[in-house]
């Protein structure tokens, strides 16, 4: 009984102390305000605001902005408003997270349309187009994944029309980079359509639309889809670092 009475006394004593503490805060508001102001000044002096939103603390080093930004702006404006370089550590982490979360089509797992026989039969042509993409990227460093898709899509329409006997060129809509890439890939395909010698068959126009379909599927599966994404281009460069002729198959199966 005494023990219970002691607990009750302790309970009321604790509440009384808390009430007195709140009352003292109201009796001396200046001292409480000084504490809050000190904390705010300490935060402002120790952590600059994000230059993009001007609200949150800038904690992440952004190589594209040559300074620090907040984590929210880093995540939401990445490859949208921020032209992220491929070596940014936060961009790489974001890509790894998205790749693990999203179960997109993997070109290494052939569909009934793009089976192993298709890949084996068209390895040389696919590698030559991939090489043309990387060559044009070296010439135009500002190229993004969307430029590649635009060029491939327009080229597919052009070749599909040509395979039906009508010569009508569909040009890519968008940037100068997509037009330059379109011209380079088209030139590479036209070279492959010429006689290659007694042991190598020339590329048929009727086979090109399907090849470009495969390249479009690969580009879609390897890109984040954001306006300034270079994820597909970075992937292509990583699996095809100017391979010698005997290692060309690495482009298809990284």
pLDDT at 49: 92
pLDDT digits (tens, 9 = 90+) for 2-23: 444 444 444 434 444 454 455 4
For residue 46, what pLDDT is reported?
59
User: What is the tens place of the pLDDT at every residue in 102-150?
Assistant: 545 555 555 557 888 888 889 889 999 999 999 999 999 999 999 999 9
Model pLDDT, residue 249: 44
pLDDT-derived band at 95, boundaries 50, 70, 90: confident
User: Would the pLDDT of 251 be above 60?
Assistant: no
214/210 Cα distance (integer angstroms) = 6
Position 253 scores a pLDDT of: 43
Q: Is the pLDDT of residue 164 over 80?
A: yes
The whole-angstrom separation of Cα 181 and Cα 139 is 10
- Residue 214: pLDDT over 60: yes
Higher-scoring residue by pLDDT: 246, 191: 191
Model confidence pLDDT, tens digit, residues 23-82: 454 555 545 445 544 444 444 445 789 999 999 999 999 999 999 999 999 999 999 999
Residue 104 and residue 95 in contact, taking contact as beta carbons nearer than 8 Å: no
Global pTM reads 0.69
Rounded Cα distance between 159 and 206, Å, is 8
Q: How far apart are the first and last CA of the chain?
A: 77
Q: Give CA separation, 211 vs 3, 35, 127, 180, 238, in Å.
A: 85, 68, 11, 20, 21
How far is 186 from 34, CA to CA, in rounded Å?
Answer: 71
Work out the number of other CB atoms within 10 angstroms of the CB of residue 83: 14
- Dihedral sign computed on CA atoms, order 107, 109, 113, 115: positive
Using DSSP's 3-state secondary structure scheme, residue 241 falls into coil
Q: How far apart, in whole angstroms, are the C-alpha atoms of residue 153 and residue 170? A: 9
Q: How high is the pLDDT of residue 199?
A: 73
Q: Using the predicted structure, report yes or no on whether residue 190 has a pLDDT greater than 60.
A: yes
Neighbours of 59 (CB within 10 A): 13
What is the per-residue pLDDT for 173? 87
DSSP for residue 82: B
């Amino acid at each position: 009984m005494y023990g219970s009475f002691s607990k009750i006394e302790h309970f009321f004593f604790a509440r009384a102390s808390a009430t007195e503490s709140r009352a003292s805060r109201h009796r001396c508001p200046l001292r409480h305000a000084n504490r809050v102001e000190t904390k705010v000044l300490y935060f402002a002096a120790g952590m600059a605001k994000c230059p993009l939103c001007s609200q949150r603390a800038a904690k992440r080093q952004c190589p594209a902005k040559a300074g620090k930004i907040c984590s929210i702006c880093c995540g939401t404006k990445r490859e949208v408003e921020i032209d992220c370089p491929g070596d940014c550590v936060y961009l790489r982490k974001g890509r790894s997270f998205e790749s693990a979360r999203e179960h997109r089509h993997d070109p290494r797992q052939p569909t009934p349309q793009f089976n192993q026989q298709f890949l084996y039969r068209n390895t040389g042509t696919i590698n030559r187009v991939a090489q043309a993409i990387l060559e044009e990227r070296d010439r135009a460093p500002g190229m993004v994944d969307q430029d590649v898709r635009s060029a491939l899509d327009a080229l597919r329409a052009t070749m599909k029309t040509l395979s039906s006997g009508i010569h009508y060129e569909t040009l890519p809509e968008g940037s100068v980079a997509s037009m330059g890439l379109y011209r380079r890939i088209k030139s590479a395909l036209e070279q492959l359509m010429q006689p290659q010698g007694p042991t190598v068959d020339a590329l048929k126009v009727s086979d090109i639309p399907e090849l470009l379909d495969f390249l479009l599927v690969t580009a879609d599966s390897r890109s984040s889809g954001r306006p300034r994404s270079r994820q597909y281009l970075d992937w292509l460069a990583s699996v095809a670092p100017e391979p010698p002729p005997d290692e060309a198959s690495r482009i298809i199966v990284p």
